[in-house]
Amino acid sequence: MARPTEREPKPIHPPPSWLSPGGLGGFHRSVGFTVDRAATGAGVCVVGGTVKARHLNINGVVHGGVYATILDTAMGGAVVTTLREEEVTATTSLYIEFLRPAQKGATLRARGEVVRRGRHLAFVEGNLYDGDGIRLSQAHGTWYIWSAGDGTWMNRRPNRPAKARAR
């Protein structure tokens, strides 16, 4: 098996603008949901938006991947609010239960909350509601936290044993 020549992708520390309107770039911008800055604080993040035709599956309801995206964003954002400058984080597991469908035009609002944060792991729960406050989905997940302060995070390839390098 050929070894990849590119560096392994690593998470980055979010820029301060991630909380501003349009601050979530790339994929998040194309999905069309934004962080509610007023409702986001230490250990909590709220993300919302309006369902458009592009969010629908072939059955005419919101695709499950949209639920997963907005929940992952809110829950990951909740972890980000707890990070020190030298820390970064990424989702390691996400479990989602789909309770009710949403339709085009519906307002979606996901709230993520850190249940417990340790040195390297954060346990998070999230709920997705419609504009009437009806819960559409619930989730829980785990985020890994790397830190330059304790040597678990550096922008370089991890050291591998000599035996593994020789292959």
| Tokens linked to 136 | 């559409």
Check if CATH label 3.10.129.10 holds for domain 16-155. yes
Q: Any idea where the domains of the chain sit in the sequence?
A: 16-155
Contact 97, 132 (CB under 8 A): no
Alpha-helical regions (H) of the chain: 26-31, 64-80, 162-165
What is the pTM for the complete model shown?
A: 0.82
pLDDT digits (tens, 9 = 90+) for 109-130: 999 999 999 999 999 999 999 9
93 within 8 A of 144, measured Cβ to Cβ: no
pLDDT digits (tens, 9 = 90+) for 62-72: 999 999 999 99
